[in-house]
Structure 1
């Protein structure tokens, strides 16, 4: 994946908390409160906002955020109770960001929590995915890089893959006027997603028909040259669904969780990840997160990154785990900040962006060298669309 080291690896309305049942969710559910200890190391609670599965194009919310807080349930319970008391929150059930976003006094409590000297200042991280850029990166990874590798090349060796993904994502909309760029990316998603596997021949033909139209219509040389290279990837498109993958080809939640575990492990030593319940995070998916986080990754000697000491990756209900409630607050705030970046400001984003952008993971899947610096701004490229 361009922009991360997992090369094989939605307005989205946030998922309603529904108990997960069935054989896919029987092994890795954490019912007991988490406590930092020698066996598990430091617990890191996580929650997402903006997930749309493989549907990366044409969604109301352009960003997926995966927020994490290095805190166990014992400490989190004290912080959650303090937020309730000081915020005058009497509603039953767990804390949610919606209880804070339209209340200035409550937002000030979050500012205090995350500000320098605050209880969670150095214990928060946010991995951000711009979905359209993720789709562009997947075009390169799944088609062009496969062709390059088969011919003895390596697009990852000197950053070519990332540069090509940025060319497609940033210059593509300008080079392909009207709806053509959207048509191109939508056709790719239809081809590479699990839905495309059932009608692969039809989806492939539709994609390459759009490729030909786009190549002929492109008004920018770098995009035209990239599209010319993609015209010769039919064989690799035909093989997209030939092998059983550990998870859907366009699924971004699993690599986001794996990267989060890896980063915390490098920072803190032994860690365990507690994710909010989410239907994509099956036992197999959580096992994949742990495997990737523990494994060394990188295509060259200079980019190789060691694995992290991740003791466990489990799921848990926010109603059972106050630490997940703190992750929910951060995920909601981060979603508001990314909406501000896309030109949709709000009181919550205006109040919280200075704190939140400082938590943004530098390896976030965004077409910027410095994601945090860019998320401080309003992106005219996004607001014009």
Structure 2
């Protein structure tokens, strides 16, 4: 590393509040069970601007694509495997300086639905892990879709009736099991669901229950300020990140003990640090999705694991190799 880059890193380390650059991959709004992706990833990097710019320049030099803006898809192409491994490697430019918070979307839906209706995180894990086996693929997909429609702000028809109709049908057709017992408990919660939906009559909530971005940003602040030193977040522009929601993020982070002194938005292509976070988010989402679906690449999973937040929201035991702790809600 050049003397100027070393000086830049020392300056960042001694400043009052280091800036952590963030970006996400896999956002489908509130459509978590019928969207294009099954994993949401929120990546963050602690890199001085010159170090990040040097990493982006090195990637461009190695890949040599004519594209004006590089994305994770460039690094994920098989012909660029060596560049991907270089980026994630222990001696690479981001090792020890980057983290990624993962959310398995279907588990996030179950966790939020059971949390709202039963306030029992353990029941969410039980239902998620046994649901497909107990109710069959078609029945399980029907439950996930009904739960997603119940929780999302925008809806068609009567999502409460649809959800409890699905719960009742699965209860009738399923053998006794731990998962079926959770459905028995859910069947008695209709008044709570009606109250939840009635709350939308006053207008959409500031923080939608099913939006994964806002809690991921709060968690990112907690990760980087765990040593007691406050941080400032720099994030790619998102329509979801309105001034009121940024205020909510800052207040929630502080209330939960995270040292967040502020959050500002930038245009990703104008900030090399956010570009690096964008690379990591897209790469992590793809590796995690492959692992989730039984087509994981052991070498890439091993390279990614040091970056993964152990408090990621992940329910599938098949993917325990990706996380230090398989489940966290």
TM range (shorter): 0.7 to 0.9
| TM-score normalised by the chain length of structure 2 | 0.85
- Aligned with 1:174 (options 109, 133, 156): 133
Aligned residues: CA RMSD: 2.6
Shift, 1:164, TM fit: 0.7
The 1:220–1:253 alpha-carbon spacing in structure 2 relative to 1, beyond 3 Å, is: farther
The number of residues matched between the two structures is 310
Partner in structure 1 of residue 310 of structure 2: 362
1:314 and 2:264 correspond: yes
- Aligned partners of 2:23 and 2:235 also within 8 Å: yes
Shift, 1:375, TM fit: 5.8
- Aligned with 2:45 (options 69, 79, 89): 69
d(CA) in 2 for partners of 1:258, 1:113: 26
Partner in structure 2 of residue 12 of structure 1: none
Shift, 1:363, TM fit: 0.6
By percentage of residues, which structure has more helix?
2
d(CA) in 2 for partners of 1:375, 1:45: 22
- Aligned partners of 1:136 and 1:165 also within 8 Å: yes
d(CA) in 1 for partners of 2:245, 2:16: 20
Shift, 1:313, TM fit: 1.1
Partner in structure 1 of residue 327 of structure 2: none
Q: 1:1-385 residue pairs with structure 2 within 5 A?
A: 36=12, 41-85=17-61, 87-89=62-64, 91=66, 93-102=68-77, 104=79, 106-145=80-119, 161-196=120-155, 202-241=158-197, 242=199, 245-267=205-227, 269-296=229-256, 307-343=257-293, 345=295, 352-367=300-315, 373-374=321-322
* Structure 2 residue matching 1:367: 3-state secondary structure: coil
* Structure 2 residue matching 1:219: 3-state secondary structure: coil
d(CA) in 1 for partners of 2:29, 2:219: 17
Partner in structure 1 of residue 4 of structure 2: none
Farther-moved stretch of structure 1 (107-116 vs 120-129):
107-116
* Structure 2 residue matching 1:315: 3-state secondary structure: strand
The 1:138–1:107 alpha-carbon spacing in structure 2 relative to 1, beyond 3 Å, is: same
Structure 2, unaligned stretches of length 5 or more? 1-10, 325-329
The 1:215–1:84 alpha-carbon spacing in structure 2 relative to 1, beyond 3 Å, is: same
Shift, 1:345, TM fit: 4.2
Shift, 1:37, TM fit: 7.7
Shift, 1:340, TM fit: 1.8
- Aligned partners of 1:40 and 1:312 also within 8 Å: no
Farther-moved stretch of structure 1 (203-212 vs 36-45):
36-45
- Aligned partners of 1:360 and 1:372 also within 8 Å: no
Shift, 1:330, TM fit: 0.7
Farther-moved stretch of structure 1 (247-256 vs 38-47):
38-47
The 1:183–1:43 alpha-carbon spacing in structure 2 relative to 1, beyond 3 Å, is: same
d(CA) in 1 for partners of 2:123, 2:224: 29
d(CA) in 1 for partners of 2:141, 2:244: 33
Q: What is the CA deviation profile of residues 90-127 of structure 1, one whole-angstrom value per residue up to 9, with x for unaligned ones?
A: 535333222222254x4323423332233321011111
- Aligned partners of 2:26 and 2:37 also within 8 Å: yes
Partner in structure 1 of residue 7 of structure 2: none
d(CA) in 1 for partners of 2:67, 2:227: 36
- Aligned partners of 1:45 and 1:327 also within 8 Å: yes
Partner in structure 2 of residue 11 of structure 1: none
* Structure 2 residue matching 1:117: 3-state secondary structure: coil
| TM-score normalised by the chain length of structure 1 | 0.73
Partner in structure 1 of residue 6 of structure 2: none
d(CA) in 2 for partners of 1:356, 1:333: 9
- Aligned partners of 1:358 and 1:372 also within 8 Å: no
- Aligned partners of 2:48 and 2:273 also within 8 Å: yes
* Structure 2 residue matching 1:364: 3-state secondary structure: coil
The 1:352–1:261 alpha-carbon spacing in structure 2 relative to 1, beyond 3 Å, is: same
